[in-house]
């Protein structure tokens, strides 16, 4: 058997925004194709890039990866792992879509299993992998299992959402356009009538927060405090050190 892992870039739109609007289609196509070829794996998106792992019989993996290279929904495909394997890391999934791949136990074990190979990656490839290892933000808001409270915080998007998940409306576009450029105090968003009622705004912000793309920082007086960075002394901190990413 064989395993290939790669990172690619989302195709930029004419206005320069990198919107993963094709993510759901890529996922559904991958699941169907993988099932036919008996290939398993995992897919995730963050900050304008995809990471995907595919595994299975060598001929099937090579066939699938050749088609991936030709897929015009992404570009600059960089292989970070291409190796023979004796067992699968994701045997239960034709293709799992992970919104935060760093929290998936199977992906942690995958990294540990191939750590010696990943340690030899070129600096540029290690930095790309770090995008998916790092937590995208510090958590100044309540647990994602609850409805977050944003009072007293300045908010900003770290990436555009997949509109196949969030939905498309003038309110969504307006909010994302504001938050992708710079941080905006929550109180100002509430005053913006284009963003609907406070309840509608909170629901949308909660969705963006659950997708791990909404950053939050405290406001002190007239100035926003520095955004905090989440720390992790566990597996990923060790992996970043091992891959010389810190």
SS3 12: coil
pLDDT given at position 141: 38
The CB-based long-range contact list for 216-219 (8 Å cut-off, 24+ gap) reads: 216/137, 216/138, 216/139, 216/140, 216/141, 216/150, 216/153, 216/154, 216/155, 217/138, 217/140, 217/153, 217/154, 217/156, 217/183, 218/140, 218/152, 218/153, 218/154, 219/152, 219/153, 219/154, 219/185
Q: Identify the H or E element spanning 203.
A: helix 198-210
Please give the radius of gyration of the chain, using alpha carbons only, rounded to the nearest integer: 19
Q: Which residue has the tokens 């990294």?
A: 111
Q: Which residue has the tokens 């994302």?
A: 176
pLDDT given at position 56: 96
- Count the Cβ atoms, other than its own, within 10 Å of residue 246: 9
Those residues of the chain that have pLDDT short of 70 are 12-25, 135-148, 163-165, 168, 220-246
The reply to whether the predicted model has a pTM over 0.75 is no
Task: Give me the sheet containing 153-157, strands edge to edge.
Answer: 184-185, 153-157, 214-220, 223-224
pLDDT given at position 139: 41
pLDDT given at position 230: 34
pLDDT given at position 2: 97
**Neighbouring residues of 59: CB distance < 8 A, sequence distance ≥ 6:** none
Pick the CATH number of 2-133 from 3.40.50.720, 3.40.50.261, 3.30.70.100, 3.30.2320.80: 3.30.70.100
pLDDT digits (tens, 9 = 90+) for 46-89: 878 899 999 999 999 999 999 988 888 788 999 999 999 999 99
Q: How far apart are CA 164 and CA 143, in angstroms?
A: 24
pLDDT given at position 19: 57
According to DSSP, the residues that pair with 3 across neighbouring strands are 55, 83
**Neighbouring residues of 234: CB distance < 8 A, sequence distance ≥ 6:** none
Q: What is the DSSP string of 132-177?
A: HHS-SS---S--TTS----TTEEEEESS---HHHH---HHHHHHHH
Each domain of the chain, given as residue ranges in start order, spans: 2-133, 153-224
């Amino acid at each position: 058997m064989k395993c290939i892992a790669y990172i690619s870039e989302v195709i930029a739109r004419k206005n320069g925004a990198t919107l993963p609007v094709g993510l759901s289609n890529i996922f559904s196509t991958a699941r169907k194709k993988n099932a036919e070829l008996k290939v398993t794996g995992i897919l995730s998106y963050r900050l304008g890039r995809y990471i995907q792992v595919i595994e299975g019989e060598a001929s099937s993996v090579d066939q699938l990866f050749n088609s991936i290279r030709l897929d015009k929904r992404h570009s600059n495909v960089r292989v970070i792992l291409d190796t023979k394997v004796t067992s699968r890391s994701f045997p239960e999934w034709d293709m799992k879509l992970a919104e935060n791949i760093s929290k998936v136990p199977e992906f942690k074990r995958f990294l540990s299993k191939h750590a010696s190979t990943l340690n030899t990656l070129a600096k540029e490839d290690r930095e790309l992998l770090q995008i998916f290892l790092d937590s995208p933000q510090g958590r100044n808001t309540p647990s994602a299992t609850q409805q977050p409270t944003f009072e007293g915080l300045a908010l900003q998007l770290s990436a555009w959402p997949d509109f196949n998940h969030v939905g498309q409306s003038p309110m969504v576009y307006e909010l994302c356009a504001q938050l992708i450029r710079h941080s905006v105090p929550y109180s100002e968003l509430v005053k913006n009538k284009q963003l609907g009622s406070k309840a509608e705004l909170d629901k949308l912000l909660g969705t963006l927060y659950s997708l791990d793309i909404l950053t939050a920082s405290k406001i002190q007086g007239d100035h926003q405090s520095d955004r905090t960075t989440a720390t992790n002394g566990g597996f990923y901190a060790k992996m970043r050190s091992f891959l010389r990413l810190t």
